[in-house]
Structure 1
Amino acid sequence: MKVAVSILMNNEAPRLTQLIGHLKFLDKKCGIYFWDDN
């Protein structure tokens, strides 16, 4: 499993826990990289 999370606002950190279970993509516009567990 690769994990790369970049430029994540401190107040968004709790939300990451929810996102990783639902989203597998990287959004360069937001500067946020979610991991791909495949």
Structure 2
Amino acid sequence: MRYFGYKLVMLSTWNGIPIAYDIVPANTDERIAAEGVLEMVR
């Protein structure tokens, strides 16, 4: 199966304020993309 486009992976506060985000290709696994965003916060 092929996917076209991008995904926005974002970490935000409870109030909805973005802390860190990344735009990845649509065929990227969400778990791998989430690890990258969490590393930005550390």
Give the alignment's TM-score, normalised by structure 2.
0.28
**TM-score, with structure 1 as normaliser:** 0.28
Question: Which of the two has higher C-alpha Rg?
Answer: 2
Q: Which has the higher contact order (CA 8 A, sep 6+)?
A: 1
Relative to its length, the structure with more strand (as a share) is 2
